[in-house]
Amino acid sequence: MNYSVFTEEHQQVRQTIRKFVEKEIVPHVEEWEKQGYFADWVFPRLGELGFLGLRYPEKYGGAGGDYFMGIVLAEELARSGCGALAMAVAVQTDMATPPIMQFGTEEQIQKYLIPAIQGQKVACLGITEPNAGSDVASIETRAVRDGDHWVINGRKIFITNGVRADFIVLVAKTDPALGYNGVSLFLVDKGTPGFYVTRKLEKVGMRSSDTAELLFEDCRVPVENLLGQENRGFHQIMWELQGERLMGMACAVAGAQRTLEKTLEYARQRSQFGRPLVKFQVIAHRLAEMATEIEAARQLVYSTARKYAAGQYPVQEIAMAKLICARTSYRVADTALQIHGGYGYMMEYDVQRAWRDSRLNRIGGGTDEIMLEIISKSLGL
Ligand SMILES: Cc1cc2nc3c(=O)[nH]c(=O)nc-3n(C[C@H](O)[C@H](O)[C@H](O)COP(=O)(O)OP(=O)(O)OC[C@H]3O[C@@H](n4cnc5c(N)ncnc54)[C@H](O)[C@@H]3O)c2cc1C
């Protein structure tokens, strides 16, 4: 299908990433998923190939591409069948580093963004806490100014890349009396005294990405590590969350497309009652429904991305796209598993991984219920 959002250049980059994924990623996915950690060479390799800087300016080592270049990367990584890797990379390219580009000083760009584009530094973003998930404004991590330093105390949970990360973009309260307006962002390096990775969490899906619980105990960071304006962190991070949600959904849809293709293949070759599964109308209709829902979700991602890329702030559409894509990806995976029958429930068929991985789409980056809240508010309810 021609969506008229991708240029010849996008398609060339897509082919390059696709070849890389098939040759250098796919052969390792099973092993990485079993060990619960993808190899440390992946980030530097992606950096070397220029994939981590597709959307960043050339003067910082990026390729100067547009938002759709990022979508191409997200889609092609998702086609590896390893949602974990696509998610970990999206955290690097679309969650943790955009605020540095947007709000960072030149020194911060040199110290954090450029090595992140090169894959020499891995980044994570710390918003969620044990007592504050959907309700971001209720975070308790506190940063108090003490001379030339900020002293940080608090805990973060469910932090993607948190175990392997070289630094964190940390969200902390700097003026609790101001609520939303008392939050700031900080760059905190791994190895800073008082910054601990307390646990690597075990997950149902996305197993080869690392997810951490973090502790900050009288962790002192120099004042120059404040990212952006003091007390503007909530607004800065809310802007960032919009782009991240959309990119995550491009991954979700591409993953669903791969699941559909694999299931079509399976249903063509598996016969029962003397005919291939696709010859049962009920199965054919399910496959047709999957294809239709995926197409609708994809069109919504592209049309919303077009607005986002043009500098608009389409919060309502992003929430709608997040809701539809997350639900579609999970429904597609669940139906695909059903079509695989007992084989679908076996670890040797990777449809089970799509089923486990896609479940996260309805929780991470804002739950279905929070998307419905945003949409309701946009309707004036
Ligand atoms: C694998 C994984 C990776 C993650 N990576 C990161 C990361 O890198 N960085 C980061 O900061 N966070 C990360 N998260 C956290 C993620 O964004 C949160 O889990 C998510 O926002 C939900 O917060 P919560 O888990 O605390 O659930 P809660 O907020 O406790 O919600 C529990 C339930 O209540 C519902 N609920 C809450 N409020 C309302 C309401 N007002 N109306 C109706 N229903 C409501 C929710 O929808 C949900 O069903 C990750 C999570 C996971 C699981």
Is 49's pLDDT higher than 80? yes
Cα(363) to centroid of ligand 1, in Å? 6
Q: Is 126 in the pocket of ligand 1 (CB under 6 A)?
A: yes
Catalytic residue among 76, 244, 293, 317: 244
Q: Within a 13 Å sphere around the CA of 162, how many CA atoms are in the beta-carbon half?
A: 24
Exposure pattern of 46-71 as b/e (b: 16+ CB <10 Å)? bbeebbbbbbbeeebbbbebebbbbb
Cα(176) to centroid of ligand 1, in Å? 22
The confidence score (pLDDT) of residue 3 equals 81
CATH 1.10.540.10 fits 8-121, yes or no: yes
- 185-240 pLDDT, tens digit per residue, is 999 999 999 999 999 999 999 999 999 999 999 999 999 999 999 999 999 988 88
Is 144's pLDDT higher than 90? yes
Active site residue 24: no
Assign a CATH topology to domain 124-231.
Butyryl-CoA Dehydrogenase, subunit A; domain 2 (2.40.110)
Probe residue for ligand 1, chosen from 128, 213, 234 as the CB with the greatest number of ligand atoms within 8 Å: 128
Q: Is 83 in the pocket of ligand 1 (CB under 6 A)?
A: no
Q: Where are the domains of the chain?
A: 8-121, 124-231, 234-378
Mean pLDDT, all residues of the chain: 97
Looking from the CA of residue 205, the nearest atom of ligand 1 is 1
Phi and psi, residue 58, nearest 5°: -60, -35
| Joined tokens for residue 27 | 């052969």
What residue owns the CA closest to ligand 1's atom 35? 369
The confidence score (pLDDT) of residue 240 equals 81
Q: Is 159 in the pocket of ligand 1 (CB under 6 A)?
A: yes
CATH number of 234-378: 1.20.140.10
Distance between CA atoms of residues 135 and 141, nearest Å: 14
User: Do 8-121 and 124-231 agree at the fold level?
Assistant: no
The confidence score (pLDDT) of residue 143 equals 98
Nearest to 372 by CA among 326, 305, 313: 326
Q: Is 170 in the pocket of ligand 1 (CB under 6 A)?
A: no
Is 2's pLDDT higher than 80? no
pTM over 0.85: yes
